[in-house]
Structure 1
Amino acid sequence: MEIKVEALTLKYGDNVAVRDLDLDIGEGESVVLLGQSGCGKTSTMRCIAGLETPTTGRITVGDNVLFDASTGVNRPSHKRNIGMVFQSYAIWPHMTVFENVAFPLQMQRSSKADTRKRVLETLELVGLEEFADRGASMLSGGQMQRVALARSVVMQPSIMLLDEPLSNLDARLRHRLRGDLRELQQRLGLTSVYVTHDQEEALALADRIAMMQHGRIVQIGTPDEIYGRPRSASIADFLGVGNILDVEAVDSTHVRLAGADFTLRVPAYEKATQLRAAIRGEDVLTADDRPDGNIITGHVLTREFLGASAIYRVEIAPGVQIEVYGSKHRPLRGGEGQEVRLSIDVDAIQVLPLDVDDLPPADVPTTAHAEVAA
């Protein structure tokens, strides 16, 4: 079902957790709320779930009004038909896997035959059919999270809300389970809202990402759009862009690097009070590999070896450093202390305001809706 959030505001005394937020989520779409701690992403999801009472606004799922401050409608959380998966597994260790998953159906007074059928189908869906009779306390962390997911899916919810469900798992297991989550969401056509502060998780799981700062959505778009065209330097920094450099405007296609005596050719940009040049480390090559870019000379300070790749930190002016990514197929030709000549393509540089607030307000379409292929 579609989710529509309109003018949502949530206050705790003088503290505004969510600020006049609008968001449309299409049927079967996966939207990830992404941002640092305290940005309002979990508060927004808890308002949809009915675990928080907004100060103002309106929330609908399909044709059902879940909350409307103007008319006093506030449907209790247990009557919203919403599945939730939390960061903590929240499963009962004294019950078997089957009993854990069956519990919400028993609360709905489903027949024993229907309960058994739906539980076994759901356990097969999440790959736990062989563990039905095992005690929940004997499961691994990843298996416990699958039980929590199955317990939500078995209810056949209108929508699914997931609050950082993979954050307690190790990196390898997180990587595997997020792929399973995405496959399950697409197979069931579940409309879902996923909350995370992990940009890799957001890119892997989303049809669209809603980037949040200070209780509001500052950018929304597909993973490709968010990754490739962040709207501000603070967003780019959160998304892992390694080089955020202070620059000063020269003209519409040139900027001067602060602390250095050279300029960079850049794509046309909008002027703002505080400008930053955002450059991904993988876009910095050696001058030999790309002789027609912005050529910069520097000295290698450190090399961080990561196996298949390496990160070089290069000083290009006193106190000004940039990260350069290399690999076994494209190593940086120069060891620590050696001089290197680097090249940065004009189109690889984005000149951005420090924050979205520095841009004209009309430039922020936060309720843009993207169609999702069936």
Structure 2
Amino acid sequence: MSGITGQFAGTAAIELRALAFSYGETAILRNIGLDLERGRTLALLGPSGCGKTTLLRLLAGLLAPTIGTISIGGRLMADANARLFVPPERRGLGMVFQDYALWPHMSVAGNVAFPLEMAGLGRAEIEHRVMAVLDRVGLAPLAARGPGDLSGGQQQRVAIARAIVGEPGLLLFDEPLSNLDRELREALAVDLAALLSDLGVSAVYVTHDQGEAFTIADQVAVMRGGAIIQCAEPQTLVSAPASVEVAEFLKLGTVVEAERQADGAWQLCGTGIHLAPGSEGPAAAARARIMLGRKAIDVLAPEAADANGQVVRALFRGDSYALSVALGEGAARVVVETVSGLRRTVGEKVGLAIEPGGLRWFPAN
């Protein structure tokens, strides 16, 4: 069997330039620019209605862009200005659906062989390709079984085998794990990440689940309101979110307003917390927004801290407690998130200290 990504001659799996899509007067996608290197997996991550499924459908050739261009594997697939549009069957793609879409009356081998039969290949070539790809995904011994005899993870591998048997340059995943319970979804995400890495195939994976995206993808595009608001490796998204919107969507911590005092020091509005001297904020700005990551806040005894709060929620996480702590009163009340190695109870008074190195600064509203 020839290489899975053999149809791609260039180094880029995907190149999107100034891509936009509208339904009449309603803009669904706005100014999408994106590059994905060959052999890497991109996750499109965002809430329902953000445009991620529409972007996947544009890549698949199920929709044509209103503005911009789409190139896959170095080939121009769509150009709105030039009225160029390559249909799905000529894009060299494989697709894995939400429910795997396996035919229950066919064997594993029959499911995988189906696209080759539709392409008119000879029986010997089909058998060779099917067994080769089943071997690659670890299912060759199960070729004669029916999908109903397989576990969820094995069914997922059948769907992937069917998607790659035609040797596509790009795999598209449309929330394939969203119908499963969380424990199984987490286990299958780990398996899928390992499989994609072993195959070396380029892939785009649509999901609304942050853990899934971070487990599977080399690169994550966070989408909101039809635009990509940050595209980076998972580690970069966590350590350096580009905006408050990214930080809040990924639930990286609490974002609070801060104001500069007369002496140049910063105070977190409504909390009574003063940041340590030397904390860096926006130059010459009087106000800013600060993300307090959970590990940026230390929980102390009330008498040992400059600011005190009240625990309003405490969840045991096995080796620590996830705490929500209310600071201030009335309209100025702020609730921050942190962790504690010691048991804390709702209503308990605690002291808080801020580690300046764990802060992320953003411009004020």
Above 0.5 in TM-score? yes
For the 8 Å contact 1:142–1:169, the answer to whether it is kept is no
Q: State the AA in 2 paired with 1:150.
A: A
2:348 is aligned to 338
Pair 1:269-2:282 in alignment: yes
Pairs within 5 Å for 1:197-208 = 197-208=208-219
Once the 2 structures are TM-superposed, how far is the Cα of residue 14 of structure 1 from its aligned partner? Answer: 1.4
Distance in 1 (alpha carbons) for counterparts of 2:85 and 2:360: 44
Alpha-carbon distance in structure 2 between the residues aligned to 1:217 and 1:115? 40
Quick check: 1:18–1:215 contact (8 Å CA) kept in 2? yes
Structure 2 CA distance, aligned partners of 1:42 and 1:252? 50
Contact 1:249 1:271 in 2 (8 A): no
For 1:231, give the aligned amino acid.
Answer: A
SS at match of 2:325: strand
CA offsets per residue over residues 50-70 of structure 1, 9 Å max, x none? 011111111112332111122
Structure 1: any 5+ residue segments left out of the alignment?
359-374
Q: Pick one of 349, 356, 365 that aligns with 2:359.
A: 349
Aligned: 1:139 with 2:150:
yes
CA contact (8 A) 2:310 2:327 kept: yes
Equivalent of 1:282, from 291, 295, 316? 295
**AA paired with 1:96?**
S
2:267 corresponds to? 256
TM-score, with normalisation over the residues of structure 1?
0.85
**Structure 2 runs not aligned, ≥5 long:** 1-7
Partner Cα separation in structure 1 for residue 158 and residue 252 of structure 2:
36
Correspondence for 2:244: 233
Relative distance call for 1:336 and 1:124 in structure 2 (3 A) is: same
In the TM superposition, what is the alpha-carbon distance from 1:353 to its structure 2 partner?
4.1
Q: After TM superposition, give the deviation of residue 274 of structure 1 in Å.
A: 8.3
Instruction: Choose from 100, 116, 120 the match for 2:131.
Output: 120
Question: For the aligned residues, what is the CA RMSD?
Answer: 2.5
Structure 2 vs 1, CA of residues 262 and 303 (structure 1 numbering), >3 Å: closer, same or farther? closer
Q: Deviations over 1:133-191 (max 9, x none)?
A: 22223434333222211110212101111121111222222222222222222222212
SS across alignment from 1:268: coil
- Work out which of the residue numbers 298, 311, 321 in structure 1 matches 2:335: 321
Q: Identity of paired residues, percent?
A: 38
Q: Which structure 2 residues correspond to residues 34-45 of structure 1 after superposition, within 5 A?
A: 34-45=45-56
Kindly tell me: are residues 145 and 125 of structure 1, through their superposed partners in 2, closer, same or farther at Cα, counting changes over 3 Å?
A: same
Match status 1:170 vs 2:181: yes
* Structure 2 Cα separation of the partners of residues 253 and 117 of structure 1: 73
One-letter code aligned to 1:187: D
Matches within 5 A, 1:71-150: 71-150=82-161
What is the aligned partner in structure 1 of residue 309 from structure 2?
298
SS in 2 for 1:279: strand
Question: How much does 1:250 deviate?
Answer: 4.5
Q: How many residues in Structure 1 have an aligned counterpart in Structure 2?
A: 347
